[in-house]
Chain A
Amino acid sequence: QQQVKQSPQSLIVQKGGISIINCAYENTAFDYFPWYQQFPGKGPALLIAIRPDVSEKKEGRFTISFNKSAKQFSLHIMDSQPGDSATYFCAASISGKLIFGQGTELSVKP
């Protein structure tokens, strides 16, 4: 019940396209849902986050859509760029600690 399931495992998108990564959870006690971007050899960097009382949050090219009843949330990257190529992790927070998904390796082709 503590798991966060993330899909797809890998994603290839053309430059300018939309990248979509999905996550699902079971535990309704999760109270905060961040997304992190990680480049090889670096620590995860906080990208955008949402609380469960909000259905959508947009910051620049990044949007989180949140469906509380379905216990699912997703990250949309608009106008994807080669510099967005990285591994993306969704996470869910309970009592302040984060439970991470398995990650999605995104490759944006020029």
Chain B
Amino acid sequence: DTGVSQDPRHKITKRGQNVTFRCDPISEHNRLYWYRQTLGQGPEFLTYFQNEAQLEKSRLLSDRFSAERPKGSFSTLEIQRTEQGDSAMYLCASSLAVTVWDTITYEQYFGPGTRLTVT
């Protein structure tokens, strides 16, 4: 069963350092999403791609954050000059369009997440 995978699973870094996370979606899924989840909260949308195009970015995604999906397959999320407030679980999800009658929905499947701790 090849679900969504994320690497690394845990990352501890010092404030000011840059970090990069990788997400490998389910192979036939053309949409890929990034979310951030802090303790005791629901995931918050950051950005998403359809194939290699980044279609939307949340206001939560400051200039220090950048995401890419160069060939429409895996994606990377980079955080530059990390701050303690960046400590969170970073979740990746992928989806495929499901058409029921004339309505398209996107069932999103999440990876295990990358836990970032900024000290």
Contacts and interface: CB of A to CB of B under 8 A. Distances in A.
Nearest to A101: B42
Contacts, number: 61
A99 to B, nearest CB: 7
Interface residues of B, number: 27
B45 A98 contact: yes
Nearest to B10: A41
Give the dominant DSSP class at B's interface. Answer: strand
Interface stretch (B12-20, B62-70, B72-80, B110-118): B110-118
Interface string A84-110: 000001010101111111110000000
Contact of B110 (A45, A49, A51, A99): A45
Interface of B: 4, 31, 33, 35, 40-45, 48, 56, 91, 93, 95, 100, 103, 105-113, 115
Interface of A: 6, 31-32, 34, 36, 41-46, 49, 51, 53, 89, 91, 93, 95-103
Given A43-B110, A49-B107, A100-B43, 15 more contacts: A31-B103, A34-B107, A34-B108, A41-B115, A44-B43, A46-B107, A51-B105, A95-B56, A96-B106, A98-B43, A98-B45, A100-B44, A102-B41, A103-B40, A103-B41
20 contacts: A6-B42, A31-B105, A42-B113, A43-B4, A43-B110, A43-B111, A45-B110, A46-B109, A51-B103, A89-B42, A91-B42, A93-B105, A96-B48, A97-B45, A97-B48, A98-B35, A98-B43, A100-B44, A101-B42, A102-B41
